[in-house]
A and B are shown apart, each in its own frame.
Chain A
Amino acid sequence: MRIALEVWRQRSPEAPGQFVRYETTEASPDMSLLELLDVVNEGLVQKGEEPIAFDSDCREGICGTCGFMVNGLAHGPLQGAAACQVYLRNFRDGETLWIEPFRAKAFPLLKDLVINRSALDRIIAAGGYVTVNTGNAPEANTSTIHKDDAEQAMDAAACIACGACIAACPNASAALFTGAKITHLGKLPQGQPEQGRRALRMVRAAAAEGFGHCTFAGECETACPKSIPLQVITQMNHDYLAARLSGEGHVQPRHIEPGTPKRRR
């Protein structure tokens, strides 16, 4: 089959970018979209040109490394699939695909389709864990967990941090990502002691990274390759507000030097 690609090429963060057209005739319906990019790249290399830079690793939809926009949709046209799980049989013969990187202020572009998503790691570092040292955990079956809670925790824990939710969101909000971790740990007894603090710190970390606020547009849920439900955002908002109201995030009065003028709000 014939597939034409219009791919965003940008040599460096500073350089201007543009779409470049690549016509392919070697496409077969059994190929994945990433394999088509591989073929285009081999052709480019053989001509001595620089191949299209894109990220991918497991190619099974679990590592979260790949991801770009295909015809304006994060990870392409399939519901519940990452870009590496999209096969050419899902497109028409002769179709043109527009491929461009995930765009968000907090995801600086590195080259072509490659972006820097380390902001997501910093959100996790802010509190997305259970504080437990190695070596002295209690016997695993001493605490019981309701099967439904374990299942819901697992639904939320399935997040692969690909960033599609952010790319799809009109506000570039990381609410689905942040909410997923807050929900995963909040559904389990182990996560309880830090629940309020976790919500406060992770939500603030996301804002500090430059992600937008959530206005419940719902695009994230559609884009998510793991079908993480919008409820995780409700859970995040609940935990955040509860923590604020209970004074969990209580901030000490700032030390102010004598003679400091009043700040204008």
Chain B
Amino acid sequence: MHLDGKIPGGPLPQKWERRKLDYALVSPANRRKYRVLVVGTGLAGASAAATLGELGYRVECVFFHDSPRRAHSIAAQGGINAAKNYQNDGDSVQRLFQDTIKGGDYRAREGNVYRLAEVSLRIIDQCVAQGVPFAREYGGKLANRSFGGAQVSRTFYARGQTGQQLLLGAYQALLRQVQAGTVRLSPRTEMLDLVVAHGKARGIVARDLVTGEIRTFVADAVVLATGGYGNAYFLSTYARNSNATAIWRAHRRGAYLANPCFTQIHPTCIPVSGEHQSKLTLMSESLRNDGRIWVPLRAGDKRSPEQIPEDERDYYLERRYPSYGNLTPRDVASRAAKAVCDEGRGVGPSGLGVYLDFADAIRRLGADVIAERYGNLFDMYAEITGEDPYRAPMRIYPAIHYTMGGLWVDYDLMSTIDGLFVIGEANFSDHGANRLGASALMQGLADGYFIVPLAVGSYLARAKPPAIDDAHPAFEDARNDTAARIERLLSVRGKRTAASFHRELGKLLWDTCGMSRNREGLERALTHIPELRDRFYRELLVPGRGETLNRELETAGRVADYFELGELICRDALHREESCGGHFREEYQTPDGEALRDDEHFAYVAAWQWREGEPPILHKEPLVFEAAPPMQRSYK
């Protein structure tokens, strides 16, 4: 199949305007005849459902949390970018576009990224109008700060809780529509399959997480906003319930999955402390503005940090990247931390950690200023580790944080299944091989508020999906499949918990397809994962029944999908014989250890098609760069 990104012609600044003019419209009176299903209520899902509701469609919103406000977008700390140029530092849509394309290591579509930069301006307007309490200057105007990968101040923020405030804005808009009767919510309901009838997405099968009832939802178009799949690695900064099941089920029904190996690893997380650890906590990237990162010069140096004199310390980021220093982008900083730990110079009980030291900053600025800037983060660190970061340096280590890969979508955010739209982190578009800070919130809201509502309308106007109900055989099939999968998990009755398999799979993925990958490791993973999956279906133990609130059953279903997805992640990493962004193949690096991109052979989106019982097929969408010609990313 030829993958058509459907990017409008003409110069970049006119593409989105042109496409909007091309879109067919549904008249207001006809909109209520169409039912749109939105799965997930994070930034993308809540904003899309609210906007579609405002337009007058009948919207059904399905999500597994108890309230739409709990989606994982709420945990984002740092901020949201917009090319407002309020600081008069030369920012513009064009510059935001260029930074994002370059930050993504030239593996994103120019058309999409330009539109993102363009729409960013209106996102801030919209959120301010909703009452999002962004930080302000004394003059009453909006404040900005700078973030990694940019040389201008374009990041808007609400303390360290920007994701929370943006999500609450979208959530409130959503509940306003619930009150108005245009949106109906189905909380504690988890999508377990996609229904495709006559080649079009027509609904989903879901499980009521309280009663266990298998329910079907019928719609004229389906929008997936179900987030990223980083929890495949078990330990990550994701919320515990984030999972891949919705996109994986859609993939198995015909939606291609693009660039699954592009996983962002965030350099500043609190290191793992023990076997029982359930998740990792991120410390905002902003700490690197004042903190200096170092390890002992000598391998195996077990002295406490204050006993190590200045000349026996290695400030490795400042040494290797003198012009960016501690503010190198996330992928570069993460790899550098891994390299020094691999040399045996890591700190802390596990040896997997580096120091983030504020001693110089405290001497220079005083503890009060540091407390004002980072107080809540310091408290958080102290709470989790029991150590006082004002006295001893913090210990940090990289962790899985965001997935740039996801379901393939065209410029209209439609997947390879007609009528299935995918938005936010669940799709692959816009970020390329690496995501800069403060750009994920921007993409979620751009998709949800401004792009998908128009694209869905146009689809409905043109496709005019015929009436259908859940007696259709496609619904029957999907329902039976789902019931059979649940039954299979419940009937194994082995000895091991789903979580224990998840931990094992996650460790394997982290070791072989984490911060750096090589052919030998990936091939090993590709033999181990199917073996582990077989053991899972022989040794799993899920107590209780399906017709009740059963957390073990929920976990088991998600882990089952991680096995298949994990295999695809490794397969994608194996075929991409280059290094770019979050994907670092050890075989492809420059003499001084930097990522070596291969634009001649790999400037494409890798979109995988599922085949039952056979290896997936790789489809390639070539990437064309006209406005931002690829160049080597250098932060020296």
Distance to closest chain A CB from B53 (angstroms): 10
Q: Which residues of B contact A57 (CB under 8 A)?
A: 65, 70, 72, 239-241
- The reply to whether the CB of A59 lies closer than 8 angstroms to some CB of chain B is yes
Distance to closest chain B CB from A12 (angstroms): 8
Contact of A42 among B72, B74, B500 (CB under 8 A): B500
- The reply to whether the CB of A217 lies closer than 8 angstroms to some CB of chain B is no
Contact residues, A155-200 vs B (CB, 8 A): 157-158, 160-161, 184-185, 187-188, 190-191
Contact residues, A41-80 vs B (CB, 8 A): 42, 44-46, 48-51, 53, 55-60, 62-65, 78
Is there an interface contact between B139 and A144, defined as CB atoms closer than 8 Å?
A: yes
Q: Specify which of A45, A132, A141 lies most central, judged by the most chain B CB atoms within 10 Å of its CB.
A: A45
- The reply to whether the CB of B12 lies closer than 8 angstroms to some CB of chain A is no
Contact of A63 among B70, B124, B138, B542 (CB under 8 A): B70
- The reply to whether the CB of A154 lies closer than 8 angstroms to some CB of chain B is yes
- The reply to whether the CB of A31 lies closer than 8 angstroms to some CB of chain B is yes
Contact residues, B131-161 vs A (CB, 8 A): 131, 133-142, 158-159, 161
- The reply to whether the CB of B273 lies closer than 8 angstroms to some CB of chain A is yes
- The reply to whether the CB of B189 lies closer than 8 angstroms to some CB of chain A is no
Is there an interface contact between A64 and B70, defined as CB atoms closer than 8 Å?
A: yes
Is there an interface contact between B176 and A59, defined as CB atoms closer than 8 Å?
A: no
Q: Which residues of A contact B244 (CB under 8 A)?
A: none
- The reply to whether the CB of B623 lies closer than 8 angstroms to some CB of chain A is no
Contact of B543 among A49, A111, A190 (CB under 8 A): A49
Is there an interface contact between A46 and B165, defined as CB atoms closer than 8 Å?
A: no
Given known A-B contacts A38-B278, A42-B497, A125-B176, A154 and B133 have beta carbons under 8 A apart: yes
Q: Which residues of B contact A81 (CB under 8 A)?
A: 383
Is there an interface contact between B386 and A34, defined as CB atoms closer than 8 Å?
A: no
Is there an interface contact between A62 and B499, defined as CB atoms closer than 8 Å?
A: no
Is there an interface contact between A53 and B74, defined as CB atoms closer than 8 Å?
A: no
Contact residues, B150-194 vs A (CB, 8 A): 158-159, 161, 164-165, 168, 171-173, 175-176, 178-179, 185, 187
- The reply to whether the CB of B318 lies closer than 8 angstroms to some CB of chain A is no
Q: Which residues of B contact A132 (CB under 8 A)?
A: 126, 129-130, 173
Distance to closest chain B CB from A144 (angstroms): 3
- The reply to whether the CB of A261 lies closer than 8 angstroms to some CB of chain B is no
- The reply to whether the CB of A208 lies closer than 8 angstroms to some CB of chain B is no
Given known A-B contacts A62-B164, A114-B549, A125-B178, A56 and B500 have beta carbons under 8 A apart: no
Contact of B75 among A58, A78, A137 (CB under 8 A): A58
CA distance A91 to B159 in the complex (A): 31
Contact residues, B430-469 vs A (CB, 8 A): 449-450, 453
CA distance A150 to B65 in the complex (A): 30
Chain A binding surface, main DSSP class: loop
Is there an interface contact between A125 and B72, defined as CB atoms closer than 8 Å?
A: no
Interface string of A8-29 (1 = CB under 8 A from B): 0000100000000000001011
Q: Number of residues in A with C-beta < 8 Å to the partner? A: 78
Q: Which residues of B contact A97 (CB under 8 A)?
A: none
- The reply to whether the CB of B310 lies closer than 8 angstroms to some CB of chain A is no
Is there an interface contact between A141 and B386, defined as CB atoms closer than 8 Å?
A: no
Given known A-B contacts A117-B67, A124-B172, A144-B141, A134 and B72 have beta carbons under 8 A apart: no
CA distance A50 to B551 in the complex (A): 9
Q: Which residues of A contact B131 (CB under 8 A)?
A: 129-130, 153, 184-185, 188, 190-191
Is there an interface contact between A64 and B239, defined as CB atoms closer than 8 Å?
A: no
Q: Which residues of B contact A30 (CB under 8 A)?
A: 273-274, 385-386
CA distance A160 to B175 in the complex (A): 16
Q: Which residues of A contact B497 (CB under 8 A)?
A: 42, 45-46
Contact of A56 among B139, B171, B240 (CB under 8 A): B240
Is there an interface contact between B72 and A146, defined as CB atoms closer than 8 Å?
A: no
CA distance A36 to B274 in the complex (A): 12
Contact of B51 among A26, A114, A134 (CB under 8 A): A134
Distance to closest chain B CB from A23 (angstroms): 17
Distance to closest chain A CB from B320 (angstroms): 31
CA distance A49 to B541 in the complex (A): 10
Contact of B279 among A59, A65, A110, A140 (CB under 8 A): A59
Closest chain A residue, CB of each to CB of B126: A137
Listed from nearest, the 7 A-B pairs whose CB atoms lie closest are A144-B140, A129-B172, A137-B129, A137-B125, A125-B175, A140-B128, A153-B133
Q: Interface of B with A (CB < 8 Å)?
A: 47, 50-51, 54, 65-72, 74-75, 84, 86, 122, 124-131, 133-142, 158-159, 161, 164-165, 168, 171-173, 175-176, 178-179, 185, 187, 210, 239-241, 273-274, 276-279, 281, 380, 383-386, 449-450, 453, 495-497, 499-500, 541-544, 548-552
